[in-house]
Amino acid sequence: MEIDFQKGGGLLPAIIQDERTGDVLMLGFMNPESLAETQRTGEVVFFSRSRNKLWKKGESSGHVLRVREMRVDCDADALLVPVGPGVCHEGYRSCFFRKLEPDGNVATIAERTFAPDQVYGSEKSR
Amino acid sequence: MEIDFQKGGGLLPAIIQDERTGDVLMLGFMNPESLAETQRTGEVVFFSRSRNKLWKKGESSGHVLRVREMRVDCDADALLVPVGPGVCHEGYRSCFFRKLEPDGNVATIAERTFAPDQVYGSEKSR
């Protein structure tokens, strides 16, 4: 099966899921090189669209995402990656800690599980 | 909070998750119009990249994806959409939430699993 990078202009969305709880933690993108690095190291490496380069999640915080397995969907244009527990740079266990209300507002629906500035320092860059 | 459609060239990845089991079911993309349609109808409407138009999941099969809630991630460039397999427009998992008693009365025998007006808006017509 050939992975379809073309449909997304060279990038594939990769869903990161907590393998214990089933929680969806975050979504990043992978190009062929970051997918190869992820498979080689067993730790998630994305391609950062904003920085336009490979981005190993956890390289500054130490909270790397350890790959349990990698799944590809029916038309081979999306990845699902169960990992050990990971955390959002804003201090939540999942990046999806906000609920989008019908009126367009957002509500925070989770508790912070750690203090981001103690993990990431002052810049909080990811 | 402004949803960031720019980073993905006008499209936002939307992860569809079974709200009961936590299973990730699929990933599609939304543009502003499909997001608005999803919020208006309470059923998932994607933007099909291959067909280049709105695509209501289930329009031919009848297996529509009923939105339980919509979450947006920390940098507002991805959506997580828990869906309920077959939930009633009155807010129950099954439309058969009432028991017909021998005396002709009816008793509600299930708990509401969501608030219909938050999902379907004020019109509630379906």
B22 CA to chain A: closest CA distance, Å? 5
* Rounded Cα–Cα distance for residues B41 and B70 (Å): 13
* Rounded Cα–Cα distance for residues B68 and A105 (Å): 16
- DSSP letters, chain A, are -----GGGTT-EEEEEEETTT--EEEEEEE-HHHHHHHHHHSB-EEEETTTTEEEETTTTTS---BBS--EE-TTS--EEEEES----TTS-SSS--EEEPTTS-EEE-S---S-HHHHHTTT---
Q: Do residues A51 and A60 lie in contact, with contact meaning Cβ atoms separated by under 8 Å?
A: no
Dihedral sign of CA atoms A108, B2, B116, B96 in order:
negative
B102 CA to chain A: closest CA distance, Å? 41
- Best of A24, A97, A103 to disrupt the B interface (most B CBs within 10 Å) is A24
Instruction: Walk along chain B (126 residues) and give the pLDDT tens digit of each residue.
Output: 889 999 999 999 999 998 888 888 899 999 999 999 999 999 999 999 999 999 999 887 767 898 988 999 999 999 999 998 555 667 776 667 788 877 878 888 888 876 777 665 654 444
A126 pLDDT band, cuts 50/70/90, is very low
Chains A & B: contacts with CB separation below 8 Å: 71
A105 touches chain B (CB under 8 A): yes
Distances (CA, A) of B71 to A3, A55, A78, A104, B15: 28, 24, 19, 11, 10
Give contacts of B3 with chain A, Cβ < 8 Å: 100
pLDDT at B89: 67
A54 touches chain B (CB under 8 A): no
Tens-place pLDDT, residues A69-113: 888 888 889 999 998 755 677 878 788 889 888 888 888 988 887
- pTM exceeds 0.95 for this model: no
Q: Do residues A70 and A79 lie in contact, with contact meaning Cβ atoms separated by under 8 Å?
A: yes
Q: Do residues B16 and A17 lie in contact, with contact meaning Cβ atoms separated by under 8 Å?
A: no
Tens-place pLDDT, residues B86-98: 556 677 766 677 8
Which segments of B21-69 are extended strands (E)? 24-30, 45-48, 53-56, 66-67
Q: Which of B26, B72, B78 sits opposite A73 (nearest CB)?
A: B26
**Among all residues of chain A, which has the CA nearest to that of B17?**
A24
